Structure formats: C-alpha cells, structure tokens
Amino acid sequence: MDNLKNLSNHKALDKQSSSNLSNDDVLMTSLEQKERIETLTNLDCHEVVVVLHQEVDKVKQGENKVFAHLNKSNESDSEFLESVGKECSGP
C-alpha cells in the first residue's frame, strides 16, 4: 500500500512520455491522475487490484499515456499487477 501512497509524489510525466502532449493535456492528465491516486489510497486491496487491471486495460487500448510507463521493469502486466497485489496484502 506504501507504493500507492507514494504515487502522489511520483513524477509520472517525464520528458519522453509527455513530449507529444500539449501543456493543457499534461495538466488535465495530471489532475485526472491525482484524483485517481486519491481514490486508490481510500480503497481496500481487492479494489486496488481491480482498479489497476482497469488502468492496464486503458494502457493497452492507448487511452492512458501516463500510467503506461509506471511499470519500468520488463515485467508483463500480469506480473506487475501480481507484485502490487502481494505488496498490498502485506507479508
């Protein structure tokens, strides 16, 4: 759950991912992500995993350009979500 709380401090828009977005797009996307992150921090673990699956689906469909690079490792989407789910459920 700590990772979800730290997302609000995470600079999700780096130069590479935002280079094709206008300033207004970046601002709106940032505000939308902030709202989503605030919502995520108030959810239980099961709800978090459900929301993450929805975000991965949006990335796959090209609808979410910001979350597309949060998984910087070479993990598949399912491996990434599984690791987040394990972290959420605790030791």
Task: Write down the H helix ranges in the chain.
Answer: 2-6, 15-18, 23-41, 45-60, 77-89
For 62-80, the pLDDT digits (tens) are: 665 555 555 555 556 666 6
pTM: 0.30
Distance CA 86, CA 16 (A): 30
CB neighbour burial string for 21-44, b if at least 16 within 10 angstroms, e if fewer: eeeeeeeebeeebeebbeebeeee
pLDDT at 10 over 50: no
Q: pLDDT tier at 18 (50, 70, 90 boundaries)?
A: very low
The closest alpha carbon to 18, from 10, 30, 8, belongs to 30
